[in-house]
Chain A
Amino acid sequence: MSDLMDIKVTVNGTVYQRSVEPRMLLSDFIRFEIGLGGTHVGCEHGVCGTCTILFDGQPQRSCITFAVQADGHSIETVESLGTPEKMNPLQEAFQEKHGAQCGFCTPGILMTMKAFLKENPHPTEEEIREGIDGNLCRCTGYQNIIESVKLASEKMSHSGSK
Chain B
Amino acid sequence: MEKKFLGQRIKRNEDPRILTGRAKYMADITYHNMLHAAFLRSDYPHAKLNSVDISAALEIPGVIAVYTAEDLGDLWHPGPVLVPAPHSIPGIKANSRTQIPIVKDIIHHQGEVIAMVVAENRYIAEDALAVIIVDSDPLPAVENIEDALKPDSPLVHEELGTNLATYVRQERGNFAEIKTKADYVLQQRFVMDRGGAGAMENRGFCANWEEDSQQLTIHCNTQSPSGLRNSMAAWFGIPEQRVRVVVPFVGGAFGPKVMTNQPEEVLCTFASIKLNRPIKWLEDRSENFIGTTAERMQVHDCEITFNKDGKVLGIRDSFLYDTGAFNPYTATIPLNTQTHTTGLYNIPVFLTEFTSVFTNKMIVSPVRGAGRTYGVFVMERMLDMVARQLDQDPTYIREINLIPADAKFPLETGIIAQDFAQFVLDSGNYPAVLKKAKDMIGYDDFKKNIQPKLRAEGKFIGIGLVLFTENTGVGPYEGAKITVGNSGKVFASSIYGTQGQGHFTVFAQIVADQIGCRVEDVIVETGDTDKFAWGTGTFASRGATVLGNAYHHTAKLVRAKILATASRLFNVPEDELELGDGVVRIADVPEKFIKMGDLATKANPMRGTIKPGTEPGLEATGFYAPPYGATAYGAAAAILEVDPISFNIKFHKFVFVDDCGTVINPMILDGQLHGGIQMGIGNSYFEKLVYDENAQLLNGSLMDYLIPRATDMPSKMEIGHLNTPSPLNPLGIKGVGESGTIPIPPLYCQAIEDAFNLPGLFISEVPLSPSVVYQLVENAKSKKQGELL
Q: How far is the CB of A97 from chain B (nearest CB, A)?
A: 8
Q: How far is the CB of A61 from chain B (nearest CB, A)?
A: 12
Question: Which residues 101-151 of A have a CB within 8 angstroms of B?
Answer: 101-107, 110, 125-126, 129-130, 132-146
What's the dominant secondary structure at chain B's contact region?
loop
- Cα of A142 to Cα of B681 in the assembled complex, Å: 13
- Cα of A36 to Cα of B716 in the assembled complex, Å: 35
Q: Is B611 an interface residue (CB 8 A)?
A: no
- Cα of A156 to Cα of B593 in the assembled complex, Å: 43
Quick one: which of A36, A44, A50, A130 contacts B200, CB cutoff 8 A?
A50
A40 touches B201 (CB 8 A): yes
Q: Hey, which chain B residues are within 8 Å of A45, CB to CB? A: 285, 701-703
Contact with A along B581-617 (1 / 0, CB 8 A): 0000000000000000000000000000000000000
- Cα of A47 to Cα of B198 in the assembled complex, Å: 13
Quick one: which of B21, B201, B667, B674 contacts A77, CB cutoff 8 A?
B21
B671 touches A140 (CB 8 A): yes
Q: Is B249 an interface residue (CB 8 A)?
A: yes
Chain B residue nearest in CB terms to A145: B710
B710 touches A142 (CB 8 A): yes
B703 touches A100 (CB 8 A): no
Q: Hey, which chain A residues are within 8 Å of B123, CB to CB? A: 21, 23-24
Given contacts A91-B19, A138-B198, whether A103 and B249 have CB atoms under 8 Å apart is: yes
B25 touches A78 (CB 8 A): no
Q: Is A96 an interface residue (CB 8 A)?
A: yes
Q: Hey, which chain B residues are within 8 Å of A132, CB to CB? A: 710
Q: Hey, which chain A residues are within 8 Å of B28, CB to CB? A: 31, 37
Output the residue of A36, A42, A96, A132 with the most chain B CB within 10 A: A42
Q: Hey, which chain B residues are within 8 Å of A110, CB to CB? A: 19
A130 touches B711 (CB 8 A): yes
Quick one: which of A95, A105, A107, A141 contacts B674, CB cutoff 8 A?
A141
Quick one: which of A24, A98, A143 contacts B717, CB cutoff 8 A?
A143
Chain A residue nearest in CB terms to B199: A138
Q: Hey, which chain B residues are within 8 Å of A39, CB to CB? A: 21
B20 touches A84 (CB 8 A): yes
- Cα of A130 to Cα of B740 in the assembled complex, Å: 24
Q: Hey, which chain B residues are within 8 Å of A104, CB to CB? A: 25, 199-201, 251-252, 500
Q: Hey, which chain A residues are within 8 Å of B250, CB to CB? A: 102
Q: Is A79 an interface residue (CB 8 A)?
A: yes
A94 touches B674 (CB 8 A): no
B25 touches A40 (CB 8 A): yes
What's the dominant secondary structure at chain A's contact region?
loop
Given contacts A101-B502, A143-B717, whether A138 and B679 have CB atoms under 8 Å apart is: yes
- Cα of A73 to Cα of B707 in the assembled complex, Å: 33
B702 touches A143 (CB 8 A): no
Q: Is B784 an interface residue (CB 8 A)?
A: no
Quick one: which of A41, A50, A135, A140 contacts B675, CB cutoff 8 A?
A140
Q: Hey, which chain B residues are within 8 Å of A145, CB to CB? A: 710
- Cα of A95 to Cα of B518 in the assembled complex, Å: 18
Q: Is A82 an interface residue (CB 8 A)?
A: yes
Q: Is B61 an interface residue (CB 8 A)?
A: yes
Number of interface residues of B (CB under 8 A): 59
Q: How far is the CB of B292 from chain A (nearest CB, A)?
A: 14
Question: Which residues 1-50 of B have a CB within 8 angstroms of A?
Answer: 11-12, 14-25, 27-28
B501 touches A101 (CB 8 A): yes
Contact with A along B276-292 (1 / 0, CB 8 A): 00000000110000000
Given contacts A39-B21, A136-B200, whether A98 and B668 have CB atoms under 8 Å apart is: yes
Q: Is B709 an interface residue (CB 8 A)?
A: yes
Q: How far is the CB of A101 from chain B (nearest CB, A)?
A: 4
A102 touches B251 (CB 8 A): yes
Number of interface residues of A (CB under 8 A): 60
Quick one: which of B19, B27, B254 contacts A103, CB cutoff 8 A?
B19
Contact with A along B660-699 (1 / 0, CB 8 A): 0000000110110011111100000000000000000000
Q: How far is the CB of B71 from chain A (nearest CB, A)?
A: 26
Q: Is B636 an interface residue (CB 8 A)?
A: no
Q: How far is the CB of B398 from chain A (nearest CB, A)?
A: 25
Q: Is A87 an interface residue (CB 8 A)?
A: yes
Q: Hey, which chain A residues are within 8 Å of B709, CB to CB? A: 133-134, 136, 142
Q: How far is the CB of A72 from chain B (nearest CB, A)?
A: 23
Contact with A along B502-528 (1 / 0, CB 8 A): 100000000000000000000000000
Q: Hey, which chain B residues are within 8 Å of A5, CB to CB? A: none
Q: How far is the CB of A32 from chain B (nearest CB, A)?
A: 8
Q: How far is the CB of A139 from chain B (nearest CB, A)?
A: 4
Q: Is B728 an interface residue (CB 8 A)?
A: no
Chain A residue nearest in CB terms to B703: A47
Q: Is B540 an interface residue (CB 8 A)?
A: no
Q: Is B99 an interface residue (CB 8 A)?
A: no
Q: Is A14 an interface residue (CB 8 A)?
A: no
Chain B residue nearest in CB terms to A131: B710
Q: Is B639 an interface residue (CB 8 A)?
A: no
Question: Which residues 78-96 of A have a CB within 8 angstroms of B?
Answer: 78-79, 81-85, 87, 91, 94-96
B12 touches A95 (CB 8 A): yes
Q: Is B62 an interface residue (CB 8 A)?
A: yes
A47 touches B22 (CB 8 A): no
Given contacts A24-B123, A48-B200, A102-B201, whether A139 and B21 have CB atoms under 8 Å apart is: no
Chain B residue nearest in CB terms to A96: B11
B717 touches A1 (CB 8 A): no
Q: How far is the CB of A146 from chain B (nearest CB, A)?
A: 7
Q: Is B134 an interface residue (CB 8 A)?
A: no
A141 touches B675 (CB 8 A): yes
Chain B residue nearest in CB terms to A43: B285
- Cα of A94 to Cα of B671 in the assembled complex, Å: 13
Given contacts A40-B201, A42-B200, whether A100 and B702 have CB atoms under 8 Å apart is: no
Q: How far is the CB of A29 from chain B (nearest CB, A)?
A: 12
Quick one: which of A21, A82, A101, A130 contacts B20, CB cutoff 8 A?
A82
Chain A residue nearest in CB terms to B30: A32
A138 touches B678 (CB 8 A): yes
- List 8 additional A-B contacts (Cβ < 8 Å) besides A101-B671, A138-B254: A1-B124, A81-B20, A85-B16, A91-B20, A101-B675, A104-B201, A125-B715, A138-B252
Binding site for B on A (CB under 8 A): 1, 21, 23-24, 31, 36-45, 47-48, 50, 77-79, 81-85, 87, 91, 94-96, 98, 100-107, 110, 125-126, 129-130, 132-146
Could you give 16 example pairs across A and B, Cβ below 8 Å?
Answer: A21-B123, A37-B24, A38-B22, A44-B285, A45-B701, A84-B20, A91-B19, A95-B15, A100-B18, A100-B500, A101-B500, A101-B501, A102-B250, A110-B19, A141-B717, A142-B713
